[in-house]
């Protein structure tokens, strides 16, 4: 391509040639500029990209120095997949030869989009980023950053999880959660035909069936303290009402998040959770006591029926909050009041079950309120605390 005498080739990078055009005079609107050619995929042709340089009072040395600095900036941007026509980054295209690090970055970009579209919550995105930071760290230490995504095996996945679990002191639940999240990314890559199979599928989850530490029941003193602190702190009023529903009626936090004002019948004092909002897919009806009715009226006030009861900031809202909303509130509340870490939000549900059994309720009553499929599940949640009880003698006088 023939260039004018005013243009000087000052840099070459890959297929790009950068020229500096210096006008014969710097009068009027005449300015020096850098230009190069960029292939426009949509137009299917080369486009000339022009970037102006300052006049620098006609000092040619300063013009050339500024031009060289500008070219280096342009090269850096082009190296980061910048499209000078749209002034945006081109979406990285993946294929079966794509590296694992590029695939991670691509997937995190898609998760960012999902968050902006409100398909996932802030906590889910944060956890994805933390997990991938750990995974990248492992890949770097294991000298695997250059590996293709399709070359990552179940051995690598297990080694990563075992190494990080030891290093970060992950529990079984955290281990399993990260395995599932990592599997979600590889399923995505599998759908794109980047990997032939999901390497996470062959990694065995940790067995938590007999690990009841996450179901630790509140001691009576702990329960009374939490109740007192919540009821007196108006900033957490929404959390207080939600935990009342969790304690009294064993309504799961995920179901509470989905509750709308229309689900409450104040005339008959009944809360109905339709099948579309329950964990097991069945309708659930609850007879509300006077305290719960009073609390719900306080939080609902005169808002429209289609609004969600727990819409954030202790008042109803038009949008459903993310799944981790109450968990986040509970962690902030515990930190503010310096409560011990072993007090888990979901354990409030198991705490009410245990004390009801201690007060004479049958396991079948508890099973029905929890909407468990069988008694074995009900027993699992409270067995650790039951084993600590002092064994009493039989009250029978037949022998």
Greater confidence, 81 or 22? 22
The answer for residues whose C-beta is within 8 angstroms of residue 102's C-beta and 6 or more apart is 92, 94, 149
Confidence at residue 2, expressed as pLDDT on a 0 to 100 scale: 42
pLDDT, tens only, 17-30? 999 999 888 888 88
Q: What is the mean pLDDT of the chain?
A: 86
Work out the angle at residue 129's Cα, subtended by the Cα atoms of residues 124 and 132, and round it to the nearest 5 degrees: 120
Question: At 389, is the pLDDT very low, low, confident or very high (cuts 50, 70, 90)?
Answer: low
Tell me what the mean pLDDT of segment 21-40 comes to. 89
Are 189 and 135 within 8 A, CB to CB?
Answer: no
Confidence at residue 293, expressed as pLDDT on a 0 to 100 scale: 96
- CA 13 → CA 19, 39, 224, 260, distances in Å? 12, 15, 69, 59
Confidence at residue 361, expressed as pLDDT on a 0 to 100 scale: 82
Confidence at residue 128, expressed as pLDDT on a 0 to 100 scale: 92
Confidence at residue 211, expressed as pLDDT on a 0 to 100 scale: 56
pLDDT at 1 over 50: no
Tell me what the mean pLDDT of segment 146-154 comes to. 95
Greater confidence, 14 or 184? 184
Are 242 and 288 within 8 A, CB to CB?
Answer: no
Give the whole-angstrom CA distance, residue 218 versus residue 354. Answer: 9
Tell me what the mean pLDDT of segment 36-41 comes to. 85
pLDDT at 121 over 80: no
Tell me what the mean pLDDT of segment 146-163 comes to. 95
Give the whole-angstrom CA distance, residue 150 versus residue 396. Answer: 67
Greater confidence, 14 or 175? 175
Confidence at residue 237, expressed as pLDDT on a 0 to 100 scale: 93
Question: At 37, is the pLDDT very low, low, confident or very high (cuts 50, 70, 90)?
Answer: very high
Give the whole-angstrom CA distance, residue 175 versus residue 205. Answer: 8
Greater confidence, 232 or 387? 232
Confidence at residue 335, expressed as pLDDT on a 0 to 100 scale: 92
pLDDT at 388 over 60: no
Are 205 and 179 within 8 A, CB to CB?
Answer: yes
Greater confidence, 367 or 201? 201
pLDDT, tens only, 168-187? 888 888 899 899 999 999 99
What whole-number percentage of the chain has pLDDT above 70? 89
Tell me what the mean pLDDT of segment 137-145 comes to. 94
Picking from 81-85, 226-230, 290-294, 385-389, which range would have the lowest pLDDT averaged per residue? 385-389
Give the whole-angstrom CA distance, residue 223 versus residue 238. Answer: 18
Confidence at residue 390, expressed as pLDDT on a 0 to 100 scale: 52
Give the whole-angstrom CA distance, residue 299 versus residue 316. Answer: 7
Confidence at residue 7, expressed as pLDDT on a 0 to 100 scale: 85
Are 299 and 234 within 8 A, CB to CB?
Answer: no
Question: At 246, is the pLDDT very low, low, confident or very high (cuts 50, 70, 90)?
Answer: very high
pLDDT at 34 over 70: yes
Question: At 4, is the pLDDT very low, low, confident or very high (cuts 50, 70, 90)?
Answer: very low
Q: Phi/psi of residue 37, each to 5°? A: -110, 135
């Amino acid at each position: 391509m023939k260039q004018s005498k005013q243009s000087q080739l000052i840099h070459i990078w890959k297929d790009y040639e950068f020229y500096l055009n210096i006008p014969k005079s710097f009068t009027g609107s005449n300015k020096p500029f850098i230009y190069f050619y960029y292939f426009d995929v949509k137009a299917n042709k080369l486009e000339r990209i022009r970037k102006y340089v300052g006049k620098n009072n006609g000092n040619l040395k300063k013009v050339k120095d500024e031009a060289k600095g500008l070219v280096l900036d342009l090269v850096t941007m082009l190296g980061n997949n910048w499209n000078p026509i749209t002034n945006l980054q081109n979406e990285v295209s993946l294929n079966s030869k794509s590296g694992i690090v590029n695939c991670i970055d691509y997937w995190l970009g898609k998760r960012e989009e999902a968050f902006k579209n409100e398909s996932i919550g802030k906590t889910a995105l944060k956890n994805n980023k933390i997990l991938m930071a750990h995974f990248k760290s492992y890949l770097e230490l294991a000298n695997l950053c250059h590996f293709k995504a399709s070359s990552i095996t179940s051995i690598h996945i297990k080694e990563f999880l075992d190494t990080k679990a030891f290093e970060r002191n992950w529990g079984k639940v955290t281990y399993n959660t990260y395995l599932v999240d990592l599997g979600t990314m590889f399923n995505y890559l599998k759908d794109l035909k980047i990997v032939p199979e999901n390497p996470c599928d062959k990694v065995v989850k940790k067995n938590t069936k007999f690990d009841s530490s996450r179901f630790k029941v509140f001691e009576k003193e702990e329960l009374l303290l939490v109740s007192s602190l919540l009821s007196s702190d108006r900033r957490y009023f929404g959390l207080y009402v939600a935990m009342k529903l969790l304690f009294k009626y064993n309504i799961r936090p995920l179901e509470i998040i989905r509750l709308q004002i229309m689900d409450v019948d104040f005339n008959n004092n009944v809360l109905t959770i339709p099948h579309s909002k329950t964990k097991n897919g069945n309708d659930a009806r609850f007879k509300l006591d006077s305290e719960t009715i009073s609390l719900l009226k306080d939080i609902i006030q005169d808002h429209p029926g289609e609004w969600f009861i727990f819409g954030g900031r202790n008042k109803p809202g038009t949008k459903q909050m993310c799944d981790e909303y109450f968990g986040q509130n509970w962690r902030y509340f515990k930190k503010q009041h310096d409560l011990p870490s072993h007090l888990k939000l979901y354990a409030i549900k198991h705490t009410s079950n245990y004390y009801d059994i201690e007060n004479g309720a049958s396991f079948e009553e508890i099973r029905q309120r929890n909407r468990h499929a069988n008694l074995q599940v009900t027993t699992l949640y409270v067995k650790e605390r039951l084993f600590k009880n002092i064994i009493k003698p039989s009250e029978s006088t037949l022998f």
